[in-house]
Structure 1
Amino acid sequence: MPYFLHGDVNLFYTTQGTGPPVLLLHGWACSSHDWSYQIPFLLSLNFRVIALDQRGHGRSSAPPTTDSYAPREFADDVVALLKYLQTGPVILIGHSMGTVIASVLAVEYPDAVKALVLVHPIYSGVPETLPIMGEAMRADPQRAPELAADFFAKVMYTARTPEWLKTWQLRRVLGVDPVSLVGSIDGLVKVFGSMMGRSEEAKAFMRRRKGPRLAICTMEAAPGWEREIGVEDGMDQVCTLNEGTFSHMVESEKFNKILGDWMRARNLIQR
């Protein structure tokens, strides 16, 4: 069965392929299904592809308290899963909230991370709408899925986002556990200004990330911030896609080409 019990959390994951390991971390209110355009591509490059539904998301179980969803809690799940699967260091690909978790892993568990791919990185600064939405969710937790769906509809998409993709994601958001939605937002808001965000403390933390790094940015401030916290020539790359939060799906062929070219240039693909 593709489940792993870590403490009191039952984590759903899939693993395919037999090559060097790649771990995929989805974003807030999402699931590992969001990597459906990347999994076949990575398998074609002879990677072992591990896709995880993070706690409170997808098919994984949801702890009943909001303090169970801090980025370090998510990171601890990942480390436990990698030990269970005996993968050794992985190429870590994170999307949105997953870029925060991936960055925590790269700093605090450097031996577990071979390279970082950060898709729609959000750690350049907490959006003003995030704490406001979190406050509204805490005031009426049962409305959290509805508020999250409204946030998706207003913020996450562009004119080119297919209607089927919006329909699928918005229906999925409405089914996410309300405690998970509130706890994850609270956890993100709390780390901005210390580990993430624009403080000097955050800069120092993020500069401790090691290994090759690919940042595929979709927000205006993200590329500049990525360069401010350090880009090593020949190792790191910062680029931009223009189709919103889910550019890796809307522009999947372009995204996959950027990813594959970067991996080849860093000799990460097994020949």
Structure 2
Amino acid sequence: MPFFQHEDITLFYTDEGTGTPVLLLHGWACDSHDWSFQIPLLISLNFRVIALDQRGHGRSSVPQSTDNYAPRAFADDAFALLKHLETGPAIVIGHSMGTIITSVLAVEYPDAIKALVLVHPIYSGVPDALPIMAEAMRAEPYRAPEMAADFFAKVMYTKQTPEWLKTWQIRRTLGVDPITLVGSITALVKVFGSVMGQSKEAKAFMRKRKGPRLAVCTMEAAPGWEREIGIEEGADEIFTMTEGTFSHMVESEKFNKVLGDWLKTYGHPANHSI
């Protein structure tokens, strides 16, 4: 049964394939469907692929307090699922907000991580619009889905983004519970300066992550920041894509080639137990 109870949260996940485990963590207002372009590839490369709907998203339950959406809470869910499935250390692939959660998971539970893949990493800075939107959502939470959908339409896409993808994602965003949207974005703004951003504290936090790292960057500042916080030659790689937040979907063949090549080199460590 693809549901896992962690404390008072019911989490939906899928678990397919055999071999080295890969955990997929989606972004804000999204769900594990966003990995549909990558799951078949990963299975074909002989990975065990675990795709999680994070708390409040997709088919997982919705905590009824906006205080329950901190990156640490998401990371705790992910670790509990890995432990429940007895996977041993996993390769964790996070997208957008998922890159924050993946980073927190790597710092807080280093023995659970074999390698990191960060897709559209956003921790180098918070767009000016984000704190403004968070404040507006807190003031009018019933309008949060509408605000989130508008943010997607204005920020997330490029001219090359297919109209079907925009339609699917915006319709999905309109169906996300306002508590999830408000709680998640408020929590991201709160960790700016300690986990995210250009402060010494945020950089020191990110440097605690261990293991090989692939960063697929779509924001202009992101590659430079990845280098600044440290690159291990022969293990870490930075790749740039230009088709917006969802480049891994818009240019899935290009992204999958980069991901597959990197994983063939770094992706099949010996199994251990958490």
TM-score computed with the length of structure 2 as normaliser: 0.97
Name the structure 1 match of 2:67.
Answer: 67
Q: How many angstroms apart in 2 are the aligned matches of 1:267 and 1:105?
A: 18
Name the structure 2 match of 1:209.
Answer: 209
Query: Shift of residue 192 of structure 1?
Result: 1.1
One-letter identity of the residue aligned with 1:199: S
* Preserved contact between residue 65 and residue 183 of structure 1 (Cα < 8 Å): yes
**CA-to-aligned-CA distance 1:238-263 (integer Å, 9 cap, x gap):** 11001000000000000000001111
Question: Does the residue aligned with 1:29 lie in a helix, a strand or coil?
Answer: coil
Name the structure 2 match of 1:161.
Answer: 161
Name the structure 2 match of 1:172.
Answer: 172
Name the structure 2 match of 1:130.
Answer: 130
Query: Shift of residue 234 of structure 1?
Result: 0.1
One-letter identity of the residue aligned with 1:142: Y
Q: How many angstroms apart in 1 are the aligned matches of 2:145 and 2:187?
A: 17
Identity, % of aligned positions: 77
Name the structure 1 match of 2:146.
Answer: 146
Q: How many angstroms apart in 2 are the aligned matches of 1:243 and 1:226?
A: 19
Q: How many angstroms apart in 2 are the aligned matches of 1:18 and 1:194?
A: 37
Q: How many angstroms apart in 1 are the aligned matches of 2:45 and 2:224?
A: 31
Query: Shift of residue 266 of structure 1?
Result: 2.5
- Please, which runs of 5 or more residues in structure 2 have no aligned partner? none
**CA-to-aligned-CA distance 1:211-255 (integer Å, 9 cap, x gap):** 000000000000000000000100100110010000000000000
* Preserved contact between residue 212 and residue 266 of structure 1 (Cα < 8 Å): yes
Question: Does the residue aligned with 2:211 lie in a helix, a strand or coil?
Answer: coil
- Please, which runs of 5 or more residues in structure 1 have no aligned partner? none
**CA-to-aligned-CA distance 1:109-133 (integer Å, 9 cap, x gap):** 0000000000000000111110000
One-letter identity of the residue aligned with 1:24: L
**CA-to-aligned-CA distance 1:174-211 (integer Å, 9 cap, x gap):** 00000000000011111110122110011111101000
Q: How many angstroms apart in 1 are the aligned matches of 2:267 and 2:37?
A: 22
Q: How many angstroms apart in 2 are the aligned matches of 1:195 and 1:178?
A: 24
Query: Shift of residue 265 of structure 1?
Result: 2.5
Name the structure 2 match of 1:58.
Answer: 58
Q: How many angstroms apart in 2 are the aligned matches of 1:53 and 1:138?
A: 24
Q: How many angstroms apart in 2 are the aligned matches of 1:265 and 1:79?
A: 25
One-letter identity of the residue aligned with 2:40: P
Name the structure 1 match of 2:113.
Answer: 113
Name the structure 2 match of 1:257.
Answer: 257
Question: Does the residue aligned with 1:5 lie in a helix, a strand or coil?
Answer: strand
Q: Which runs of 4+ in 1 moved over 2 A?
A: 265-270
Name the structure 2 match of 1:22.
Answer: 22
TM-score computed with the length of structure 1 as normaliser: 0.98
Name the structure 2 match of 1:38.
Answer: 38
Query: Shift of residue 269 of structure 1?
Result: 7.7
Query: Shift of residue 267 of structure 1?
Result: 5.3
* Preserved contact between residue 115 and residue 267 of structure 2 (Cα < 8 Å): no
**When the two structures are aligned, how many residues end up with a matched partner?**
270
One-letter identity of the residue aligned with 1:62: V
* Preserved contact between residue 28 and residue 96 of structure 1 (Cα < 8 Å): yes
* Preserved contact between residue 71 and residue 104 of structure 2 (Cα < 8 Å): yes
Name the structure 1 match of 2:88.
Answer: 88
Q: How many angstroms apart in 2 are the aligned matches of 1:228 and 1:269?
A: 27
Name the structure 2 match of 1:190.
Answer: 190
* Preserved contact between residue 207 and residue 230 of structure 2 (Cα < 8 Å): yes
* Preserved contact between residue 71 and residue 100 of structure 2 (Cα < 8 Å): yes
